[in-house]
A and B are shown apart, each in its own frame.
Chain A
Amino acid sequence: MNNKTDRSLILLAAQGDREVFGELVRRHQSAIFNVAYRMLGNRHDAEDAAQEAFLRAYAAFETFDTGRPLLPWLKRITINLCLNRLQKERPTSSLEDLQLSPTEPRPGPEKQMVVHERVEQVRTGILSLPPRYRAVIELRHFQNLKYKEISDVLNRPLSDIKSDLYRARRMLAEQLKDLK
């Protein structure tokens, strides 16, 4: 099964083959986890959201256009799921509460500290954004979606997306000012 393309697996999974769906989970879990991690900011919540995203995808597999790539669809489900969670649990956690896991790759002894600190600052900067700004940053910068596609995924007007994106970038720029 490992050699099979996503496309051939998708066709089987769409017919309800659980084993094949398991293989798709194995292939894409890391990417989905990372989307959730950027949105939610901690491992436990991100793993939980990734699992729920896959379960939702399985339940909604009938609506998936099997001619299209699977991963972007999974990522969109994940982003919307995280956004819903964040909006439900308002007020969002303060920066002091954000405890990022020290899990980045480790390059060298001293440089490692600097890189790690920088990465943490960026993640903290993203997590300091309001949820809907976080979602547009994720969709534009990490998923490379066009404005119109972002508007479709989030089901919000195009003008709102453009303005949120600008404001999110301004806020991030403020957060990252001291980062050199």
Chain B
Amino acid sequence: VKHLTETQFNQYLDYELDEEAQLQIEAHLEICAKCRALFNELGMVFSTLAELPDVPLDRDLTASIMANLPQTQQRPALWRQPAFIMQSILTIVLLILSMPIFRIWGPRVVVWFQELKLPTAQIPSLPMLLDHLATLLSPASYLPFTVPWLPELPAQLSGPNVNIMLILLIMTGVLWMIGNVSLLRNGSGAAG
């Protein structure tokens, strides 16, 4: 007779078998005295452990646990954290920088998109996009009109030098995003 394996005993006792496998084991236990004896021994372990009562706790442990808790490091309020202050400054710089840029670039980008007349159902090729991008950056493409309610660029930065402002804007934006990632990782939420 082939006796039950460790795994079969475990799975049967722990109700981890499907009905068919369970019936097979029960059939074997009917005919095999050795496995039946072992099953009874193991079954006794289950019932004995299940009956083991809890012991009452003689004293309240709360006070001594609380006394040994590490002193919490008081995290400063969000608005006092350096990362938050830096983010706020960057947000203000970003807004100031972007206002004159959008004064000029806003209408320019709109027209640029209008001029990008793509044949329908055709994906533009990379050279085509690059050519068109060059027209956007070319001084010849400056438009005579602007967004009137936004502040103007300083005189020395107007005209083709607007690109310096654009680079500054992008760099500030990158710093702003890095700062936001840092704030989010600290669980403080993002500024701006």
Enumerate chain A interface residues (CB-CB to B < 8 A).
16, 18, 21-22, 25-26, 29-31, 33-34, 37-38, 43, 47, 50-51, 54-55, 58-59, 101, 103-105, 119, 122-123, 126, 137, 140-142, 146-147, 162-163, 165-166, 169-170, 172-173, 176-177, 179
Contact = CB atoms under 8 A, between A and B. Distances in A.
Can you list the 9 inter-chain pairs with the closest CB atoms, starting with the nearest?
Answer: A173-B41, A166-B6, A141-B49, A103-B55, A34-B54, A30-B57, A172-B45, A33-B57, A25-B62
Interface size class, chain B: 20 to 34
B61 A51 contact: yes
Contacts, number: 101
Contacts of A147: 10, 14, 16
B24 interface: no
Nearest to A166: B6
Interface of B: 6-7, 9-10, 13-14, 16, 41-42, 44-46, 48-62, 64-66, 68-70, 72
A177 B45 CA distance: 9
A137 B6 contact: no
B61 to A, nearest CB: 5
B145 to A, nearest CB: 53
Nearest to B68: A55
Contact of A165 (B10, B57, B72): B10
A37 B52 CA distance: 12
A137 B49 contact: yes
A162 B48 contact: no
B66 A30 contact: no
B49 A142 contact: yes
27 contacts: A16-B72, A22-B66, A25-B61, A25-B62, A26-B62, A29-B62, A30-B54, A33-B61, A34-B54, A37-B55, A51-B61, A51-B64, A54-B61, A58-B69, A103-B55, A140-B14, A141-B46, A146-B16, A147-B14, A162-B10, A163-B6, A166-B6, A170-B41, A173-B41, A173-B44, A176-B48, A179-B44
A22 B62 contact: yes
